[in-house]
Structure 1
Amino acid sequence: MGVGSSHGNGLFFRTLTEKQAEEIHLASCQILEDTGMVIHHEEAVELLRQAGAHVEKGNRVYFPSSLVKKALQTAPSRVTLYNRQGEAALHLEGSNVYFGTGSDTLNYLDPFTFERRNWTKADVANAIRICDKLPNIDFVMSMGLLSDADPRMINREQYAIMVQNTEKPQVVIAEDGATLQDIIEMAACAVGGKEQLRHKPLFMIYTEPTSPLQHPKESIEKLLIAAENGVPSNFACGGVAGASVPTTVAGALVQANAEALSGLVIHQLKAPGAPFVYGYGNSPLDMRSMQAVYGTPEAVLFQGGAVDLAHYYQLPSWGYAGCSNSKVCDEQAIAESTMFTLMGALQGCNIMHDVFYMEFGITGSLELLVISNEVIGRTRRLLKGINTDKESLGVEAIKRVGPGGNFLGDEHTAKHFRDNWFTDLSDFNNYENWTADGSKTMIDRARDRIKLILETHQPKPVSEEVKAQIEEILSKAQEKFGGKF
């Protein structure tokens, strides 16, 4: 474990040594060879059988290490996500870091009425609009479960809202393969067709195994559809340490890694070279409350280990940031969410989700979203480290000012003071000026910012033709369910 700086690329933090990464890899391969996975998908089992895996009892599959090695050789080491305009937005490679929201919270902390209530379509649209405006929110997820939509259509309706209310890339959730196919259709409408979507993917699909050591039919179905269509896939263990994965950080990493690698093998057998993002969704179990929790030191260490394994495999990485166990946007929320954000960035996690999550992911807070946007800005400045070029060293300026002078009037200050990080959310005034401005807390200012964005910001809309096409896709899906719910 260590901190350093690397050839002008800023600060970094490593959790595992190269030897530890190798030990975890070999232990995961042993699990795949000796214990295997139960896979509830016939095509995937057959792909593995034909590739040389041993299959027992119909769907218990044992993976030879050679299949893992081959999959790692064919999977790309970089994945790019594009915005709705076809511009490269997220370069998932190396230690580049990007931040976005989470999906499917049950409750919405209304920033104006202060109620904890169900999400509506209007709430999600407003939340996505705020994400579209915030400069340090790089991608969006669906944020809230819709209480005013047909339960069978929620993920489709969520995507329709996302793609029409932001130009930013997305990470999506889909109940099953049919839902994913409809989301692909909607995204293709927005970017100019399926070939354009394949060439410049607008979204990544999030799907996962069921720990311990099982692959549900729906998860693999989505994985295979994504591979076929060139949609980037994140196949992440959603384990709970002490319940569905081992309680030790190392043991949780071994099992989560085995599950991710088995998904990668299936994915690459279906379409060698298809884009894949390595990740996890593990949280420790608090044995006092029996609640899976965010932001503990073990959770941060697990994320660091997972990111280091991604670097070891030369795969893009996926993780957490900006989330909390707190029930309201308070000191605990800021402390936990900031720790995850800062450490994830220092660890070099490429794409971090769940910014704005509260109450273990059950509730979403727009105040936390806006405050986290600033925390991410601070973190990004920190990651740049210190520039030591001739101009930054300021030797000539120091000579000009000399003993007893000051730098306020020097040209070096005028040229460079804007290089420093500035905030328009935190308060840097003295007490008198702060009280004169209403004695507002950070939460007060975050609510003011939410209100201002909703009053003044309109994302670039899709065309009327695209709106109509999206509506038609939704209508056809609804008809398959027998009409309105």
Structure 2
Amino acid sequence: VRIPRGMVFNALKTVPRYFVMGARVPEYDLHLQENVTYFTTDGCGVETVDLYTGEKRVSTKADVGMMARVVDSQPAVGFYWPMVSAQDFGRAAPLHEADAGWQNTVKHIQSETIMGEREAEYAVEMATVIAGSREELRRRPPLSLVVCTIAPLLQDQPGIEGALVMAKAGIPVGFLAMPTLGTTAPATVAGALAVGDAECISATVLIQLVAPGAPVFHSIMQAWADPRTGAYVGYPLDSRGRTAPIEIAHHWGIPSMGACFGTDSVELGWQTAAEPALDPFLAGLVSPEFVTGMGLSRTYTLLRPEQLLLDIDLYQRARHYMQPLEVGEETLALEAVRNVGPGGQFLSQKHTRAHMRASFTRSIAYQLDEKNKYRDPLEVARERTRWIVENHRAEPLEESQQKELARILAAADRELA
């Protein structure tokens, strides 16, 4: 298919620059706007390292619900991508992933696994139950969809079919291109991004032809083929291309989903933090509307539940880097300096008592044990995650909503099995 230039530009004129991603509770609605970036989890992994036994196993619906509960407790995470697949529910797994999300968090749910016309129709029905009506679904959609294109220059038929159903209902749809330099895309970043952009824009044009004004977002997450092995690598030493797609989307006047985190590391260790360490800071500089990637390793496929809290720590560091440094009479502390003089110490100063605790922001790496020794951050993250899973509960769905979701899922299980 070759799309005339004029048709492309006319279609893009109908894409809203900003829209609302609704939540179960209105206070958690995400109002996309300039210079505001929301972060979310990664998905959709296929294996889980059990939080209690350390055993690696196939992921389940219970894992999806568990991580939704963790997300619900964390203000840093704006909405929830189901982090792993509900492989105990077959073809209807994507619908069960959305259900597990809504049952365990009041925040917006974004799926990347709902594909096909019938699956999408069931998803729209479920989202309508959460929203309360079709009108409210359009105004504050509690669900959005990510559809991966196929590199190079192809669209996925079930993905497009599902996207069309969602768009007609007013549910935001995003297109995510994942070109691999040297295999499914040119071996240069600019060439790979051009191919990925063509995939995203062609899909956006199709959506606007069918549902003008439908909310759409744009995303490219490129990777590299190791020239010696052919292995898929998400984080080579030079990975500048990870933030360039944000500028491309904004050039078109379309909201952007940026890429952060998603380390290639298999075990929790130096690589797990080193690869994505700068990602949230760079995202803050270019301001995508939202960013995905928290909490998975082994290139988006493996869930270690405690990793989400470790990635949130990286996010918090970036958030502090972006804050202005206050310089004024109080912060310069000239009176305290005069009081102490050369060779003195500041512990006895009122100024120190007023500011010392606030000046030291304690990260997960500086948590103290009963002997005031710094604890292992991995141990702290694991302990905190277990506490959240055992103690935190989101505001429950109304009983009528739970019954209606169960009815829809039962019908989907029968039809799609």
Whole-Å Cα distance in 2 between the matches of residues 416 and 73 of structure 1?
A: 51
Whole-Å Cα distance in 2 between the matches of residues 83 and 412 of structure 1?
A: 43
Q: Would you say 1:171 and 2:94 are equivalent positions?
A: no
State the partner residue of 2:262.
Answer: 323
State the partner residue of 1:263.
Answer: 203
Aligned pairs for 1:128-207 (under 5 A) are 128-149=68-89, 151-173=90-112, 174-207=114-147
Whole-Å Cα distance in 2 between the matches of residues 411 and 404 of structure 1?
A: 11
Aligned pairs for 1:19-30 (under 5 A) are none
- Where does structure 2 lack aligned partners over 5 or more consecutive residues? none
State the partner residue of 1:292.
Answer: 232
Q: Would you say 1:211 and 2:151 are equivalent positions?
A: yes
Q: CA deviation at 1:346?
A: 2.7
State the partner residue of 1:252.
Answer: 192
Q: CA deviation at 1:104?
A: 2.4
Tell me if the contact between 2:367 and 2:380 (Cα under 8 Å) persists in the aligned partners.
Answer: no
Q: CA deviation at 1:235?
A: 0.9
Q: CA deviation at 1:421?
A: 6.8
Q: Could you report, residue by residue, the CA deviation over 1:327-378 in whole angstroms, capped at 9, with x for unpaired residues?
A: 1111101111323333233332221112112111221122211111121112
Q: CA deviation at 1:162?
A: 0.6
Paired residue type of 2:37 = V
Tell me if the contact between 2:42 and 2:262 (Cα under 8 Å) persists in the aligned partners.
Answer: no
Structure 1 residues 289 and 101: alpha-carbon distance in aligned structure 2, compared to 1, 3 A threshold? farther
For residue 215 of structure 1, give the secondary structure of its aligned residue in structure 2.
coil
Structure 1 residues 393 and 207: alpha-carbon distance in aligned structure 2, compared to 1, 3 A threshold? same
Q: Could you report, residue by residue, the CA deviation over 1:364-417 in whole angstroms, capped at 9, with x for unpaired residues?
A: 122211111121112112122334xxxx41269745335243776777666666
- Where does structure 1 lack aligned partners over 5 or more consecutive residues? 1-60
Structure 1 residues 416 and 168: alpha-carbon distance in aligned structure 2, compared to 1, 3 A threshold? farther
Whole-Å Cα distance in 2 between the matches of residues 409 and 394 of structure 1?
A: 19
Aligned pairs for 1:387-426 (under 5 A) are 387=326, 392-394=327-329, 398-405=333-340, 420=359, 422-423=361-362, 425-426=364-365
Q: CA deviation at 1:460?
A: 0.9
Q: CA deviation at 1:438?
A: 7.0
Tell me if the contact between 1:185 and 1:194 (Cα under 8 Å) persists in the aligned partners.
Answer: no
Whole-Å Cα distance in 2 between the matches of residues 415 and 440 of structure 1?
A: 27
Superposition CA RMSD, Å: 2.3
State the partner residue of 1:45.
Answer: none
State the partner residue of 1:366.
Answer: 305
State the partner residue of 2:163.
Answer: 223
For residue 288 of structure 1, give the secondary structure of its aligned residue in structure 2.
coil
Q: CA deviation at 1:191?
A: 2.3
Structure 1 residues 421 and 80: alpha-carbon distance in aligned structure 2, compared to 1, 3 A threshold? farther
Structure 1 residues 423 and 181: alpha-carbon distance in aligned structure 2, compared to 1, 3 A threshold? farther
Q: CA deviation at 1:216?
A: 2.6
State the partner residue of 2:3.
Answer: 63
Q: CA deviation at 1:148?
A: 2.1
For residue 361 of structure 1, give the secondary structure of its aligned residue in structure 2.
coil
Q: Would you say 1:450 and 2:380 are equivalent positions?
A: no
Structure 1 residues 238 and 396: alpha-carbon distance in aligned structure 2, compared to 1, 3 A threshold? closer
Q: Would you say 1:308 and 2:243 are equivalent positions?
A: no
Q: CA deviation at 1:138?
A: 1.4
State the partner residue of 2:38.
Answer: 98
Whole-Å Cα distance in 2 between the matches of residues 396 and 282 of structure 1?
A: 44
Q: Would you say 1:339 and 2:278 are equivalent positions?
A: yes
State the partner residue of 2:25.
Answer: 85
Structure 1 residues 413 and 182: alpha-carbon distance in aligned structure 2, compared to 1, 3 A threshold? farther
Tell me if the contact between 1:98 and 1:351 (Cα under 8 Å) persists in the aligned partners.
Answer: yes
Paired residue type of 2:71 = C
Tell me if the contact between 1:378 and 1:421 (Cα under 8 Å) persists in the aligned partners.
Answer: no
Identity level (%): 25
Q: Could you report, residue by residue, the CA deviation over 1:231-257 in whole angstroms, capped at 9, with x for unpaired residues?
A: 111112122221111120000111111
Whole-Å Cα distance in 2 between the matches of residues 94 and 180 of structure 1?
A: 30
Tell me if the contact between 2:220 and 2:245 (Cα under 8 Å) persists in the aligned partners.
Answer: yes
For residue 306 of structure 2, give the secondary structure of its aligned residue in structure 1.
helix
